[in-house]
Amino acid sequence: MESLEQKLDKEVEDYLERVEGTAEISALLGDGISREGYVRLLKTCYVIEYVSRKAVLLASEKTEDNNPYLSQRLRFCSKGEEGHAEIALRDLKEMGVDRVDMSDIPMADDYDSMLRENAENFPLGILGHSYLFENASGIMFPKHNGHDYPSEFIRVHAKEDPGHSIAIKRTVRNIEPGLSDDDIENIARFARESGEYLLRIFQGIEG
């Protein structure tokens, strides 16, 4: 049977293929993204940072008694993302967008609820969620060739996320011996579902 790391790496590979195949991300990594496409991307980045950090903190609380190592690693992961939603907002403000109202973004509140519910009931799934996005970001954003738009968010993630990827891979390897086959399958499944959810949010956001 494949290891959890192998399964999650496959999810990352499949997700990146889909994400980098979108017109906006292809343009971001290529000849240049439109202003509208970039605003949509930054709003999506704000959403994922805003909802993820809350879910990761809750998952850390839920694992504190039965898996203190994982709880500590999740708390560390959350600390590494501290302030990143605000960075996306700063870039957006420089683009003329003063605020992001989650209630105006289709499915954003549902995504928040879905992540919190899983953090409550299956906190291991949040590890898969974090693995997907840390690794996808750590691979994708360093490919960015630069543009004239404010890009502090991209620069920060291009610099930090390759290191975050190494750290979360280590966490996955360390906890796997205590996981059941069902746990492994469900962690990978939840990573896939979370990625799909964010893609639908991105597609529904207006620039």
In 3D space, the residue among 163, 136, 144, 191 whose CA is nearest the CA of residue 7 turns out to be: 191
Residue 172 has pLDDT above 90, yes or no: yes
In the chain, what is the greatest distance between 2 CA atoms, to the nearest angstrom? 50
What is the pLDDT at residue 30?
A: 87
Q: Give residue 15's domain range.
A: 4-204
What is the pLDDT at residue 46?
A: 94
What is the pLDDT at residue 38?
A: 93
Compute the Cα dihedral for 113, 77, 102, 17 and give only its sign.
negative
- Give the pLDDT confidence of 173-190 residue by residue, as tens digits: 999 999 999 999 999 999
Residues 105-116 have a mean pLDDT of 94
- Give the pLDDT confidence of 6-42 residue by residue, as tens digits: 999 999 999 999 999 999 999 998 888 999 999 999 9
The b/e string for 42-59 (b: 16+ C-beta within 10 A; e otherwise) is: bbbbbbbbbbbbebbbbb
What is the pLDDT at residue 146?
A: 76
What is the pLDDT at residue 78?
A: 86
Residues 78-103 have a mean pLDDT of 90
Question: What's the total number of domains in the chain?
Answer: 1
- Give the pLDDT confidence of 131-161 residue by residue, as tens digits: 999 999 999 999 987 778 999 999 999 998 8
Confidence class of residue 117 from pLDDT cuts 50, 70 and 90?
Answer: very high
Answer yes or no: are the C-beta atoms of 132 and 191 closer than 8 Å.
yes
Residue 193 has pLDDT above 70, yes or no: yes
- Give the pLDDT confidence of 50-90 residue by residue, as tens digits: 999 999 999 999 999 999 999 999 998 888 777 899 999 99
Q: Rounded mean pLDDT of the chain?
A: 93
Q: What is the CATH number of the domain that holds 132?
A: 1.20.910.10
Residue 108 has pLDDT above 90, yes or no: yes
Residue 200 has pLDDT above 90, yes or no: yes
What is the pLDDT at residue 207?
A: 62
What is the pLDDT at residue 79?
A: 82
